[in-house]
Structure formats: C-alpha cells, structure tokens
Structure 1
Amino acid sequence: MDPVIVVGAGPVGLALALSLAAQKVPSVVLDEGSGGEEPRPVRTAVLRPDTASFAERLGCAAVRDEGARWTGWRAMRRGTLQRQVSFGDGPGGVPSPVHLPQHALTRGLRDAAAASRLVQLAPRSRLDALEQDDNGVAAHTTGPGATWWRGSYLVGCDGARSTVRKLLDVRFAGRTAVERQAVVALRTELPWPGEALLHRLPPWRTGGDEVTARPLADGTWRVDWLLPPRAELVTPDALMGRLRDTLAGWCGTTPSHELLDTGVYTLHHRLARRWRVRRAFLAGDAAHLLGAVGIQGLDEGLRDASNLAWKLAQAWHHGASEVLLDSYQTERRASVAARLRAADQAMPVLRGGGGLRSYIPGAARGHDTLLADGHLGHGPLGAPPSYPHSPLAPPPAEAHTPVGTEAGAPVEDVPVTAPDGSTVALRDRLGRGRLLVVLIAPGTGVWDRRHWLTAGVMPRLAAAVSSLPAEAELLVAEEYPGAAAHTVLLVRPDGHLVTAFAGVWPGELYTAADAARGGAVVHARVEDRTADIN
C-alpha cells in the first residue's frame, strides 16, 4: 500500500509522520524548504504536559534536553501579586509546561524522522497539484526533482497559507489581527528564576495593559507586550524603551542583559470550513489559527497529529469506516471551534476595559484568573480537549460506570503493569495503534506476576481482550481516580477514555471497542462529503 503523504515539515507535519511510523505506517514528508530551520530565539513553543509527552514519545530529544520546565507561575496586577502556582511532578503536583525554541523542537523532530526507516524526507519539494481517486492521492511537486508522488492519503500540514487547503478549495474564515504583540528574547537575571510571570497593568509608563515573561533554558527569557489594537508602528527605539522600563520595574534598576532577538507578531483567529476532503486532510495552522489570550496554537496542531495518526494507521493496516475517518474532523474541529468561541467571548471582558465590569467586586481577580488559565492550560481557554459527543462513543450500557475521568476526556497518567511484568506510565503505552484495556486491581503490585495473571477476573478479561475487533493491549493499574476495584477502562490509542465498566463484561467491551474503531469497515467508493459543518 502507498505511504501517507505529509505536506509540510514543521512540527505538526514531522510529528504526524513520526506518529504514523510508531504505528508501522510509512510516510513521505514534502518540504518546500532545504531541510533546515532558521534559528529565531523569539519564536518559541510552550507545550502542555500532554503535547510535551507526545513529542518525547516520538523521539524528540530537544523537549528533554533543551526545554525549560518552569518551577512556578506568578500573576500580578499593577504592583500586587494576585496568584502564584508551584509546579512539581510528584503525587498531587501540578505538571509544568515545557518552553523551548521552536527551531529546537523542529530540529529534534526532524532528527527523529531522519533516523526512522518509515519516514522519507523530501526537501525542496513544493506542492503545486493534487489529484484524488478511489484508491489514493497523487501529488505533484516542483523543484530540482519535480515529480508525481503517489500516496494512500494526504495531510496538509503546510501552515497558514496552505497550498493543500487552496487546492482543495476549502474556505478559511475568521478574524484578522485579533491581537498584536511585541516580543524580545534576551539573556538576563530576573527576580524569580525559573518562574513565568503574567503582569497586567504594570505601573511604569510604557508597560501597556499586559506583559509576560517566560523562562527558557540557559538563563534566557522571552518577554511579550500586548500592543494596542490600532496598527501603530513599533520602532526599535520604542521597543528598547519598553524593555528598559519593564526590566527596571521588575528589578528596581535595569539589570545587565544580552538582547538575542526581537519581533512583532500579529495573531489571527481562523478555522477551515472542512478538515477532510475524501482522502485529503488538514492539520495544524492549515486547519486553524489561534493564539490570543494565552492559547498555544502549536499545542492544538500536535493534538491534531495525535488524533489523526491512529485513525490513518487503522485505515492503512485494516481499512477504516467513513465514521472513523470523519471523526477526525468532527472531534478536532469542534474542539478548536470551542476554544475560539471561548477566546472570542473572553476578549471583550479581558481587553475591553472600563464599563460596568470595572466596578463589580472581584471582577478584576476573576478576569486575571481567566487569562492565567489560558496561559497555564486550564479551563475553556487552555485545558486538553475532551470529545464527549464523539461519533466513536459507544451506546449507553448498564455495565458502564463513572470514574474520575469523563468519557471522551484524556486519561490520567497512572502507573500500569503489562502482562510481561514491566511497569510504566500509562501515557508511555499510547500512540502504538492499539486500544488499551486497563484493569484496576489494588494490591497486584505486591503479588508475583505469575499469580495475578491466573487469578480472579484476569483470565476472563484476557480472553475478552483477545477477541476484540481491534488490536488491544491489556494493562493493570493499582488505582485510578474515582475507580473501584475491578473497574475496567477502555482507552483509545490517543489516550482518550472510551468508557469504563464495573467489572468484566465481554459483550459490552466488544461493543465499545467496535464503536471506538468506527464500526465495521465497508469497502466502498470514498465519496466527497460536502455537508456543511457548523
């Protein structure tokens, strides 16, 4: 079978290719560039714990070696500390985001792709034509090796000006210049080493409405100023004035510093009308643009890759129903649309200023919390996505039982034991193209493995797992939030909970697994699905 064609060699395209490779699916990555990444210190990525873990599982060493894990977060208003969060990886701790230069992330993913025998990188290959038929996709590229490429599927990860999106004639509606930010990267010492800061209404003259400081590795910081909505020119002198005043405001006097890079970014909010056209898909900035009020757009692009990869892998190896392939658009587009709606609703409150809201007791604190949640990856502006209304959800059944994770939400990263006796984090078993069946069995950690494999409900559950309509792996956990003993969790390959059962129910487990794979495969003509999606 032909490989999957990935158009675009940025972080999302490379992550998708590596995720496919982890599920034994070959891909060709068409890169219109020369195969390198220009270092720009002000272009950085803040990865939430779920996307940082995803990138690490793909073999991106840069997340571990070059990423900064913050020790804490501060939110200030004028001269007063409003909120402080400490990060830690221990029990009950709040996991830290990972902040690293985007070129380092891209390089780390590219190095991992170059080392994979299932990923073919094709530099200087600019897409200019695309054709589809019932069995695959043909893509023509210009460049030194101009040629036609044949693929089973094609995914456009080629950015905001996506050629794939234009060739598919997909609308990209939305708003332009939602926010503007002036940015600098510098090496200096600030009063809170290792902690990120969100400062609203700083008291110095050029502070503006909002400034953030986020640490990188090696004593480097990225500092962002929210600019007024009007398109005024930000001169180098004005930017340096902002920097000096801000450093002096934080430190009492302007500390010594080394300026590494500067920039002015305009943030847009846009959403592609369709994310699937027959055998072609859109992901990352080709499908959506977002990033105001603390939202991290790259996080959403990596979540696109994680969601789509296992579905394409299922289609590549076993065939896939239209329900499964359509579920990528249904789940991811709805999730990003909800994020955009939340941002659009929050911005008049957070950015409007004045009015009655200014006189409501506690309103300012609530607004600061809302904005901080966007930066921290919490709440409607930042929390990892949940798919409660997924077309892959099983029908309600008496055997289903509630646990601490709602159906459709990402599972907690608890320790699990595999039948071979190895104990790992649950998240480490994701992304391999298999469903995960997790039995909650308190006390098994102190048993000899040969005993608990043949005791209690394990033999019956193992037989049920071996009979499922999709490949699955059986795991055991000592505990899971909100789960009683002998609860059985069914987890998708991308880490979202399908459902939980109160005990071993082979028939209901089979039904839920069949729903999670989109039902039986129907080998029929792939039609162009043109229904509008709101």
Structure 2
Amino acid sequence: MDPVIVVGAGPVGLALALSLAAQHVPSVVLDEGDGTVEPRTARTVVLRPDTAALVARLGCVSARDEGAHWSGWRSMRRKQVVTELTLGDEGEFPGDGFPDSGYLSPLHVPQHTLTRGLYDAAVAHPLVQLVSKARVDTIEQDGKGVTVHTRDPGHLYWRGSYLVGCDGARSTIRKLCGIRFAGRTAVERHAVAALHTELPWPDMAVMHRQPPWRGGGPEVTARPLPGDVWRLDWLLPPRGDLVTPDALITRIRDTLAGWCGETPPYELIDTGVYTLHHRLAQRWREGRSFLAGDAAHLLGALGTQGVDEGLRDVENLAWKLAHALHHDASDTLLDSYEQERRTAVAARLRAADQALPILRGGRGLRAVLPGAARSHDGMLADGHLGGGALGALPVYRHSPLAAPPHGDADAVVATEPGAPVEDVRVTAPDGTAVRLRDRLGQAHLLVVLVAPGTGVWDRRHWMTAGVMPRLATAVTALPVPAELLVAEGYPGATAHTVLLVRPDGHLVAAFDGVRPAELYAAADAARGGEPEEPDAQEAKDPQEDVSVVAVPGDRTADIN
C-alpha cells in the first residue's frame, strides 16, 4: 500500500497522519520546518469535547495534562455581570445529560503543547514517517496515485496513494491545484497577552464588553490556563495603529486594575497581535489531492475555532481514505468529504458574517435578523463555548452518504441522522465497558444495540439471548466491516433500537429492532455505494493523463 502524503506538520497534518495510522494506513508527512516547535503561550486553541476526545485517542497526553477545562463562563457589560454559567465536564453528564447552561467545558491548551504532543505521538508510530525541511514544488497525479517533488533539502520524489494539503493559509498544495481561496480579510484584530497572575474568577473564562476603564476597548476576554496563567485578548479596530509594547503594558495594567481594584502582581510571559480572516477554498478535492485545515478554510472571529474545524476535517477524511485503501471506494465516498465539511464550514462562516454587523457595528439585533431573540452575549457565548450557528457540532443533513428512508423500520431517537451521536457507555463483545467515542476512528462502522438491563447480566448469557444472535449475523453480513456494541440506554431510544454509526461518530440511521435488509442498505449508503470496477474507474478518471504543475515563484505572495 502506497502511503498517504500529508503536507504540513501542524496540528491538523499530524492529527491526520495519526488518524490514518490508527486505521492501518501509512503516511509520509512533509514539512518545510525543521521539526522544532516554538513555545508561544499567547497562541492557544480551544478544543470542544469532540475534538479534545480525538486528540486524546491519538495519544496526545500533553494536551490533557497541560490544558485547562473551564469551570464556568462569565459575561460582563460595563460594570454589570450579564450572565454567569456553569460549564459541565462531559464525563459527569453521560448520554442525554447536560449542565443547566447547555454548554460543556472546552479544553484550553497552548497550540505549541498540542503540536508537540501530536508530534511526539507521530514520531513513536511506525506507520508515520516525518520529513522536515521538505519544500514541495511539483505535483503529478495519475489514476493510481500522486507523485510529489521536493526541492529542499535535496531533489526527491515521493510516491503516494493520495495527497492532503494541511500546509496552512498560504498552502502550496492549494496553489498547485489552482484552487481559489476567496473570502474576507481582517474581519477581526486582537492584541493578546499571556501572563501569570491571580484574577477574581479562578478557572472561569470571562468576556467583558465595553469595560468602564479608559483604553479598555470594545471587548476584552480572559481565559485560564493551568498554574494561574491567563490569556487576555483585546478586540482592536480592524485597521488601526500598531500596538506598541508600552501601549500593551498599559492595557494589561488598566485591565487588571479594573477587574481587581488595583493592579495585582503579574509576570508577562508572551504577547502578540493577531489578525483573523474569513476564507473558504472553492474546492477541497482535485483528483487524488485534498485540502484540510487552514489550507481549506480560515475562521476565528467571534470565538469560533479554526483548529477545531481542522480536526473535524481530519476525522471526516481519515476514515474515507482508509476505506478507499483497504476496500476500494466509490467517488461518492471521497467526494462526500468536500460536500460535508465545506458545507458545514460555509454555514459557520455565514453565521459569523451575519453576526458581525450586529455585535461589532452597534446595530439593533432585529434590524439584521428579524425575529431573532438571542442576546449579543448569548451569541458570543455560542462562538466561544460551542453552541448555535456559531459553534454547535456539524450535522450532515444532506450528505450523499445519507441512508434511504425505510418507513416503519426507522426509529426516532434524540440524535437526527447526520448528527454526532451522544457519548454513551457501551459494552464490546469481549465484555469491555468503554465510552462510545473511544470506539471511533477505527476504519469500521459501529452498530449499537440499545438493550436495558444487559449491564447486570453475565456476558455469556446476553450474547446468546434475545435479538443478539440475529443482530450479530446481520452485522457479519454487512458490505463493510462493523463492530457490534451494546448500550444500556440512548437518549430518546426504546429497547431494541439499533443505531448505525459512522467511524467519525455521525449517525447513519436508527432502526426499530433488528432489520437486516434495512441495516445493509444503510451501511451500503454510508460507504458511498458499491466501488467502481478498476477498469471503469481508470476509463473515466480525469487525471489519467499525468498533470504537472510548478509552484508559483513568489511564495510570499498574497493568498490567492
């Protein structure tokens, strides 16, 4: 099996290589850097529970050990507290439980910690080859694979089955594929400082709009990290004067004094000024080449998280590439990556573009969104904490992999088809009790039987009782590999409900009882249908004639 060539060794590229390795697919990661990761505490990422779980599954223990889960969220305006929410740990709210706020605590971690943890896991994995100082300048595609040429440090050719560009906003792969990267520039601009100090709200994230002190600006947020370290962000005018070191120190002192009554002792660790753009690649697939992460999309305004979306790209694409390499795949399966993920990110960008005039322009809420009842603070909380159009988990309602309706056979549960499943406790056929999310990303579908009471039975009894033998036979007959799991319960499900779940955790279908024919049809839809015959595939492949593209001469040119 030829490896998948991954270009870019940031969090998204490394996570993709590890996700492929977990599904027994080798990869080569080509990166222009030298393998070192510069510590920048002021550059952090916020991972929602689904992406934090992905990172943990991939073996990045440093993110968990050096990251912080927030206990709550406080929103302030001028001198008043507008909202104060308790954030729940997902482990405390299994299945259908949520804290009263409706939000689960995200994981806040320095990006260099995340990158280093993923890098160490990749170095230790035998199916991942890391190549540093490798600058790509040519791609050649044919019906059977991709050849990549790197000119630094030496002229080398790399042969792979597929190519994925995870090489950031100025992606060489995107340019080589001739893909436009349209969007908006400088939608938000922030001054950032990481410092060691004590604030009145330990472990709680704070958003303060229109703070009353001089020079506070329109908005400042404080997000905790372990060890009394905080990241502070000040919203700046999109285009304004440079933020000098003296001006930033003044902002820090005034903000700390405004929150604490007087400026407490603090140690400044790191600073920065970040400009956020909104851009979306016109296409995410060109033959055997794909884009993921910042190479495919840029977002980050109003609390939305680009790394979060990049990791969702990884989870969506990895199992589809693994299926293509292990079992062959139809174009429907591979095309569905772009159709699902680009649609989801485009919806996120549209929501942010609609909200920006409301939240940053001072216009009335109903002037732009008639009938909307959400407050400004609620909309911002959605972006920062993961809710609503700005932050909720993606639902692939119109996916080409959607299962056909089956009338009376279909069951209604709390999760709609195409949405991520709840992370309930399940039991594997070997008797192991785990979380459902722990079984994701292993290149096979999951079939979950809801069977209340099995938890108190000996496995030897319930594996051969009731509907289990018939369901086990139906799972064995599916057109793709699947793992059979049993759950005590699932939100909205009755006894003997059967769930079919994709390797990335999205629900394909739910059935009322054991329905072998309907289960087979849903599994066939989830794999994109029957793979095409190799001869027919080669006859219609638009890349049959080798295409060669040279890198643009100016690598520092504006994003195209």
What range describes the TM-score normalised by the shorter chain of this pair?
over 0.9
User: SS in structure 2 opposite 1:439?
Assistant: strand
Contact 1:28 1:122 in 2 (8 A): yes
Cα deviation, 1:364-410, whole Å, max 9, x if unaligned, reads 97111011110001111011111011000011112111100011000
1:457 aligns with 2:471: no
Alignment of 1:341-380 (within 5 A): 341-354=350-363, 366-380=375-389
Contact 2:357 2:363 in 1 (8 A): no
Q: How far apart are 1:87 and its partner, in Å?
A: 2.3
Report what 1:532 is aligned to.
none
Distance 1:146 1:53 in 2: 39
Cα deviation, 1:160-195, whole Å, max 9, x if unaligned, reads 000000000000000000000000000000000110
Distance 1:328 1:505 in 2: 28
Alignment of 1:107-186 (within 5 A): 107-186=116-195
Report what 1:228 is aligned to.
237
Q: How far apart are 1:107 and its partner, in Å?
A: 0.3
Cα deviation, 1:47-104, whole Å, max 9, x if unaligned, reads 0110000000000011221111111111111111111221233133453111111011
Alignment of 1:510-521 (within 5 A): 510-521=520-531
User: SS in structure 2 opposite 1:76?
Assistant: strand
Q: How far apart are 1:333 and its partner, in Å?
A: 0.2
Structure 2 residue identity aligned to 1:461: L
Contact 1:277 1:528 in 2 (8 A): no
Structure 2's unaligned 5+ residue stretches are 544-560
Distance 1:232 1:356 in 2: 30
Cα deviation, 1:223-261, whole Å, max 9, x if unaligned, reads 001001233221111111111111001000000000011
Distance 1:464 1:150 in 2: 39
Contact 1:82 1:365 in 2 (8 A): no
Contact 1:435 1:490 in 2 (8 A): yes
Tell me the TM-score normalized by structure 1: 0.97
User: SS in structure 2 opposite 1:108?
Assistant: helix
Report what 2:283 is aligned to.
274
Contact 1:125 1:146 in 2 (8 A): no
Distance 1:413 1:189 in 2: 35
Distance 1:61 1:414 in 2: 22
Alignment of 1:270-349 (within 5 A): 270-349=279-358
Counterparts in 2 of 1:469 and 1:355: CA distance versus 1, 3 Å: closer
1:406 aligns with 2:420: no
1:527 aligns with 2:541: yes
Distance 1:260 1:193 in 2: 19
Counterparts in 2 of 1:252 and 1:528: CA distance versus 1, 3 Å: farther
Distance 1:322 1:204 in 2: 58
Q: Which stretch has the larger CA shift, 10-19 or 348-357?
A: 348-357
Report what 1:54 is aligned to.
54
User: SS in structure 1 opposite 2:272?
Assistant: strand
Q: Give the fraction of aligned pairs with identical amino acids, expressed as a percent.
A: 71
Report what 1:444 is aligned to.
454
Cα deviation, 1:293-320, whole Å, max 9, x if unaligned, reads 1101100000000000000000111111
Cα deviation, 1:15-40, whole Å, max 9, x if unaligned, reads 00000000000000001111111111
Structure 2 residue identity aligned to 1:209: P
Report what 1:83 is aligned to.
83
Distance 2:286 2:391 in 1: 29
User: SS in structure 2 opposite 1:369?
Assistant: helix
User: SS in structure 2 opposite 1:159?
Assistant: coil
Q: Which stretch has the larger CA shift, 81-90 or 144-153?
A: 81-90
Q: Which stretch has the larger CA shift, 333-342 or 93-102?
A: 93-102
Structure 2 residue identity aligned to 1:307: N
Distance 1:528 1:344 in 2: 36
Q: Which stretch has the larger CA shift, 420-429 or 79-88?
A: 79-88
Contact 1:174 1:271 in 2 (8 A): yes
Cα deviation, 1:448-487, whole Å, max 9, x if unaligned, reads 1111111111000000000000100000000000001100
Distance 1:53 1:355 in 2: 38
Of 98, 102, 105, the match for 2:114: 105
Counterparts in 2 of 1:506 and 1:204: CA distance versus 1, 3 Å: same
Contact 1:15 1:109 in 2 (8 A): yes
Contact 1:76 1:82 in 2 (8 A): yes
Of 477, 482, 494, the match for 2:504: 494
1:246 aligns with 2:255: yes
Report what 1:6 is aligned to.
6
Which has the higher relative contact order, 1 or 2, with Cα contacts under 8 A spaced 6 or more apart?
2
Report what 1:264 is aligned to.
273
User: SS in structure 1 opposite 2:520?
Assistant: helix
Give aligned pairs, total: 527
Report what 1:194 is aligned to.
203
Report what 2:216 is aligned to.
207
Report what 2:73 is aligned to.
73
User: SS in structure 2 opposite 1:490?
Assistant: strand
Q: Which stretch has the larger CA shift, 329-338 or 30-39?
A: 30-39
User: SS in structure 1 opposite 2:375?
Assistant: helix
Tell me the TM-score normalized by structure 2: 0.92
Distance 1:451 1:156 in 2: 50
1:477 aligns with 2:487: yes
User: SS in structure 2 opposite 1:165?
Assistant: helix
Structure 2 residue identity aligned to 1:527: D
Cα deviation, 1:253-311, whole Å, max 9, x if unaligned, reads 00000001111110000000000000000000000000001101100000000000000
Report what 2:557 is aligned to.
none
Counterparts in 2 of 1:443 and 1:140: CA distance versus 1, 3 Å: same
Q: Which stretch has the larger CA shift, 229-238 or 373-382?
A: 229-238
Distance 1:262 1:189 in 2: 18
Structure 1's unaligned 5+ residue stretches are 530-534
Distance 2:346 2:331 in 1: 22
Counterparts in 2 of 1:58 and 1:83: CA distance versus 1, 3 Å: same
